[in-house]
Amino acid sequence: MKWDCAIALALVTAGVAYASYSAVNYIQKLQVVTTAAGSGQEAPKLKSAPPRKDGDQWVVVPKEERPKSGEHFADLLIPKLDARMPIIEGTHEDELASGVGHYAGSVLPGEPDNAVLSGHRDTVFRKIGQLKKGDELRVRTKQGTFVYVITKTWVTKPDDRTVIVPHGKPVLTLTTCYPFTFVGPAPERYIIQSELKQKLDESAPDEQGG
């Protein structure tokens, strides 16, 4: 009987530990959404694109070509990490489980203003701490490939809405939870900001978007 009780207690303890780990892990993954969404309000956006000048590399995506929620509409390429990641429209858990989420309250990559992408620190963005100022980020879309150069990185609080403020030029912002090796819900956010350098003619394949 004593052995039976011991085995039963061990199983219950293991079950509680696993359930606790699963719950913490799930909450941890959801936290990255607050990086971009903040209090749940939409990020302020430019009312219209700035006047286009000769040599400007940005585009404005037509309304009929804008991605729908859950759509894989672009790829994020990070040459330094030899990585390619799908960009999904939306930052809910379903989208973040499929790749890098594009915060719908921000402009699309390649457009003039602040395009915000979020990802899990333990999946798609597990190595972005290796990136430094001057490294390239590339976003391949149907409109072409946009090459960004990292201008700065920093750590901030989850409710810091300056991460998603408008910019007068094309900017790409990556966000994830921090510290990268923290056990449980991470208390801070890691931010990478980059500016558009050039637009290449190569575009995403036609089958993309499923």
Of 124, 178, 132, nearest in space to 155 by CA: 178
Query: How is residue 180 written in tokens?
Result: 């990268």
- CA torsion, ordered 101, 113, 156, 68, to nearest 10 deg: -20
Q: Which residues are catalytic?
A: 120, 177
Residues present in the chain in total: 210
Query: Rounded to whole angstroms, how far apart are CA atoms 176 and 8?
Result: 40
Query: Rounded to whole angstroms, how far apart are CA atoms 104 and 64?
Result: 15
Host H or E run for residue 93: helix 93-96
Of 177, 169, 145, nearest in space to 75 by CA: 145
Q: Count the Cβ atoms, other than its own, within 10 Å of residue 153.
A: 17
Q: Count Cα neighbours of 208 within 13 Å in the Cβ-side half-sphere.
A: 19
Of 153, 147, 101, 99, nearest in space to 128 by CA: 153
Host H or E run for residue 110: none
